[in-house]
Amino acid sequence: MPSLFEELKKLDEEDTLTDEKLGFDEPDLPEILPILPLRGVVVYPQTAVPLTIGQPRSIKLVDDILAGNKLVGLVASKNPNLDEPGVEDLYAVGTVATVHRLLRAPDGTVRLLVQGMERFRLGEMVEKEPYLKAKIELIPEFVEENLQIDALARNARDQFAQIAGMIPSFPDELIGSISSLLDPLETIYTIANFQRMELKDAQEILEIDSTEAKLRKLVGLLVRENQVLQLGQKIQSEARGEIEKVQRDYFLREQLKAIQKELGERDEQAIEVEEFGKKIEDAKMSEEAEKQALYELDRLSRLPTAAAEYGVIRTYLDWLVSLPWSKATEDNLDLGHARKILNKDHYGLEDVKDRILEFLAIRGLGLTREGTFKKSKDLIRNEREGVILCFVGPPGVGKTSLGRSIARSMGREFIRISLGGVRDEAEIRGHRRTYIGALPGRIL
């Protein structure tokens, strides 16, 4: 929005380009005009707008009108990406304008300062080469005088002043000049000229015939833009406040560390890191697990407690040290004891019991050593060995109770993992640690 004002000011002050100041006496408007398609901009009556053109046929058009009455028909293109739009690509309503100033740049482009005069409707196309020429039908505008229009115009000026006040780069003199406008049409077109809006909305304001309807459309757009800017400022303020809070907390923690150091005290983070180190040492982890745990502990000691990753690493270490790395039970593979437990807990199922006893007998042959049995922790090998019993059957036939009986007969803890209702494979294998609140899966 301020860039348009800056362009106008720059055109007025530019000295480095070839400058042709054009005298102008308002002529009678002809029935046929050369048509200059515009990309992404709408020019309104009673407004001055800077334009930059670079297409050869557009430059040819400008050169020709400068030798004549300096009048041109400005029509917005429906698709701003087209370099040379045809008749079907243009809106039906445009603005008759006169060229007040022209600057030729060394790169061959031409910059114009045009003054909008009156609306027109495109008629029959007379010429297509070397540029478009068409018959035009002027659309006169009349301002209805009533309190409703005065109220809407004042509302539009107030809304625009609020919007401009939220943009630091917007010039104060422009806000003052718009606030002093009295003519409703001039108010509409001047504000619409500087207000950022979608091309279709800008074109709709030009095409609407009723002054009151124009004002209502413009006020609606201004109210929405005002709300968007206010919300943006609120979001920025909240984000700035959050950043300031984090910085303040960090500063206070650093001060607290310095004070504790002077008093010979230790901060909570250092105490927590030391406790984790002791737990890792007592856990008797495997070499690989201990190496990873110490690496994460080192990262934890260097992170501020306010960091999001601090909580992730802390949770990870909590899980590592809580696992029973060195805790084990001693297996009881006495087949007589196992048969007694199975018969006590289950009636019948002789084939199943015999298969379980065979399984225990085979394990006993491989694990006995001088009359003693290995502890369960000694059964962990680098390679998977042995077989796994799998009970298959519908609910209620005794699969879980058989597993509980086997654990009781061997003197092991019984763990039941129910997968009923589990739909996400992450619940089984675990979540990625990068996610907040990530937890291990059902099976480690």
Q: Which amino acid is at 420?
A: G
Same domain, 246 and 146: yes
What is the rounded average pLDDT of the residues 251-279? 72
- Asked if residue 406 belongs to a domain, the reply is yes
Query: Domain span at residue 406?
Result: 335-410
Does the pLDDT of residue 14 top 60, yes or no? Answer: no
Same domain, 218 and 343: no
pLDDT at residue 385 in the model: 54
Same domain, 159 and 129: no
Which pLDDT tens digit goes with each residue over 329-372? 777 777 888 888 888 887 888 887 888 888 888 777 665 544 44
CATH number at residue 85: 2.30.130.40
pLDDT at residue 377 in the model: 47
Kindly tell me the burial class for residue 121, based on how many C-beta atoms sit within 10 Å of its own C-beta (0-12, 13-18, 19 or more): middle
CATH number at residue 380: 3.40.50.300
Same domain, 236 and 295: no
Domain boundary (77, 109, 139) is at 139
The number of distinct structural domains making up the chain is 4
Determine the Cα–Cα distance for residues 336 and 345; give it in Å rounded to an integer. Answer: 14
Which pLDDT tens digit goes with each residue over 154-196? 999 888 888 888 887 777 777 788 888 888 899 999 999 888 8
Q: Is the pTM of this model over 0.75?
A: no
Higher pLDDT, 421 or 239: 239
Same domain, 276 and 206: no
- Asked if residue 105 belongs to a domain, the reply is yes
Which pLDDT tens digit goes with each residue over 81-112? 887 888 888 999 999 999 888 888 888 888 98
Residue 45 structure tokens: 């009556």
Residue 227 structure tokens: 């709300």
